[in-house]
Structure 1
Amino acid sequence: MSVNVQRHVVGPGSDDHVDAAWQLKERIRRNEGVLRQRRNFFESAYQRSTVYLYVDRANDRLVGFAAVRRDGYILFLAVAEEYRGQGFGKRLVANVADEYGTVTCHARTTNRDALDFYRSLGFRVKRRIDNYYEDGGDAFYLKLGDEDGIRERLANLLSR
């Protein structure tokens, strides 16, 4: 991880970095067709969550974020395209795994990149939910596996 990238945690009730998170989410929506939430829904969920963020101090740019409910459910996970492949998504999930007993999320059944990413970390599909998204899209409900070593492997990412 670059020395210029700094980790932040935003607690529930705060809207610190919400505009930058919204802008990142919208860039991803435009470019990839995923993360299609309305702004008021997004902001409300963000403010009710604990949000883990990485910010590049060199250009004051949001690298990525994970907004998480108090039960370990990841509401939003996003990493800016130019920072992908550098381990930031893994570190965000590792932060969540380090803090919560269970880590879960939903992913569009058509979002192969997200599904491949989550599977590579040990998430397993628990069920399919038809018409889950507001636009009628289907989702998989995913849970981080309980196999020995997964949490430890993710926790090791935090120590790097």
Structure 2
Amino acid sequence: MSVNIDSRVVAPGSDDFVDQAWQLKEEINRQEGVLKQRHDFFTDAYRRSKVHCYVQKGDLIGFAAVRRDGYILFLAVDPEFRSEGVGKRLVAHVADDHDTITCHARTSNENALQFYEHLGFEIKRRIDGYYEDGGDAYYLKLGADVGIADRISDLIRR
């Protein structure tokens, strides 16, 4: 990962980077048809989360908004920075704080599913009609039973 990318943490209750996170999410939505949350839902969830961010020259290039229980509400990486380890490092930050990480991913979101599978997440169940637009989701889990700390450490070293 480039040396001119900074890691930041946004504490719950803060608006830091919320507008840039919304814009990044919306750009990904336009390009890929995923991350379809409404603005009010997104900003409320963002503000209630601990958000791990990567920033380059003041611009947000990736973020993971996480609940206290290790559930990733949102994970987004600017398409120009994919394959540079940003997503892996965001999940690694979450793993530093939690023994188990969970999330949902659209069954049609091949990029996300491949990413999570590569990190060692397991599909625990399918939930039909999970999203507001009727889209289906997989519930994914990475936990102590699959060696979360060792797995993430191995990925970061690569």
Work out whether the TM-score is over 0.5: yes
Measured in 1, the distance between the counterparts of 2:134 and 2:143 equals: 28
When the two structures are superposed, what TM-score results if normalisation uses the length of structure 2? 0.94
Q: Determine the structure 2 residue equivalent to 1:151.
A: 149
Q: How many residues align?
A: 158
Asked if the contact 1:98/1:155 (under 8 Å) is kept, the reply is no
Q: Determine the structure 1 residue equivalent to 2:119.
A: 121
Q: Judging changes above 3 Å, is the alpha-carbon distance between structure 1 residues 33 and 94 closer, same or farther for their aligned structure 2 residues?
A: same
Q: Judging changes above 3 Å, is the alpha-carbon distance between structure 1 residues 45 and 148 closer, same or farther for their aligned structure 2 residues?
A: closer
Q: Determine the structure 2 residue equivalent to 1:110.
A: 108
Tell me which of 88, 91, 94 is aligned to 1:93: 91
Asked if the contact 1:95/1:158 (under 8 Å) is kept, the reply is no
Asked if the contact 2:100/2:148 (under 8 Å) is kept, the reply is no
Measured in 1, the distance between the counterparts of 2:155 and 2:114 equals: 19
Instruction: Kindly report structure 1 stretches of 4+ aligned residues shifted beyond 3 Å.
Output: 145-150, 155-160
**TM-superposition CA deviations, 1:97-155 (whole Å, max 9, x none):** 11112100000001111001000000000000000000000000000143564422313
Measured in 2, the distance between the counterparts of 1:14 and 1:63 equals: 18
Measured in 2, the distance between the counterparts of 1:145 and 1:114 equals: 18
List gaps (5 residues or longer) in structure 2: none
Q: Determine the structure 1 residue equivalent to 2:24.
A: 24
When the two structures are superposed, what TM-score results if normalisation uses the length of structure 1? 0.93
Q: Give the SS at the match of 1:155.
A: helix
State the identity as a percent. Answer: 65
1:36 positional shift: 0.2
1:77 positional shift: 0.1
Measured in 2, the distance between the counterparts of 1:146 and 1:92 equals: 18
Measured in 2, the distance between the counterparts of 1:86 and 1:117 equals: 13
**TM-superposition CA deviations, 1:75-105 (whole Å, max 9, x none):** 0000001000000000000100111121000
Asked if the contact 2:88/2:156 (under 8 Å) is kept, the reply is no
Measured in 1, the distance between the counterparts of 2:122 and 2:32 equals: 23
Aligned counterparts, 1:35-74, within 5 A: 35-57=35-57, 60-74=58-72
Q: Give the SS at the match of 1:31.
A: helix
List gaps (5 residues or longer) in structure 1: none
